[in-house]
């Protein structure tokens, strides 16, 4: 009767799948739900703040917003990105990919701030430092991409016990 046992009870007594050669899959919604419960909203907020800051930068370049609004947004966005990067780094010390993505995001953010200062200097010496403005815009796109990458890496982390609970298993700690 081993075949009958496998049909009705797909888990062994240890709670591991009997056929572990097939990986279990979770939907994107389940991964985000478990990721939000485990890691909080910081990576998503960092991506949203960087997207809003990019929109403010476009508004400044076309004359629809003032420089002070963009500077205030940069301060808030930097705080949110530092919070998200630090939280992702500290909560995922065992995962090298998340650690690297968090450090990369923070380093790109500081590079973005320095290039923004150079782009601001272009206002005083018009025509000499135009490449700072272009580099600042390009680094903004790269920083947004790094924040989305960090969010994806953080929210795809599922612990084995969460995976078992998602499929109706019982976990005993």
Predicted confidence at residue 117, as pLDDT, reads 92
Tens of pLDDT, residues 44-73: 999 999 999 999 999 998 999 999 999 999
Check whether 6 has a pLDDT greater than 70: no
| CA 133 – CA 118 distance, rounded (Å) | 7
Check whether 104 has a pLDDT greater than 60: yes
Average pLDDT estimate for 81-104: 93
* Contacts of 134 by beta carbon, 8 Å cutoff, 6+ apart: none
Residue 168 exposed, middle or buried by CB count within 10 Å (0-12, 13-18, 19+): exposed
Q: Which residues pair with 11 in a beta bridge?
A: 17
pTM: 0.74
Check whether 116 has a pLDDT greater than 90: yes
**Token pair listed for 8:** 């009705």
Predicted confidence at residue 37, as pLDDT, reads 77
Check whether 130 has a pLDDT greater than 90: no
């Amino acid at each position: 009767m081993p075949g009958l046992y496998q049909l009705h009870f797909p888990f062994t007594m240890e709670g591991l799948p009997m056929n572990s050669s097939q990986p279990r899959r979770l939907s994107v919604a389940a991964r985000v739900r478990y990721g939000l419960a485990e890691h909080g909203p910081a990576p998503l907020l960092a991506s949203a703040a960087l997207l809003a800051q990019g929109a403010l930068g476009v508004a400044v370049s076309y004359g629809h917003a003032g420089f002070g609004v963009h500077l205030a947004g940069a301060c808030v966005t930097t705080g949110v990105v530092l919070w998200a990067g630090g939280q992702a780094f500290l909560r995922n010390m065992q995962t090298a990919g998340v650690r690297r993505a968090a450090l990369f995001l923070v380093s790109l953010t500081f590079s973005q701030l320095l290039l923004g200062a150079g782009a601001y200097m272009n206002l005083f010496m018009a025509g000499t430092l135009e490449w700072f403005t272009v580099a600042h815009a390009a680094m903004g796109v790269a920083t947004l991409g790094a924040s989305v990458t960090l969010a994806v890496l953080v929210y795809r982390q599922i612990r084995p016990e969460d995976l078992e609970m998602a499929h109706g298993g019982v976990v005993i700690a």
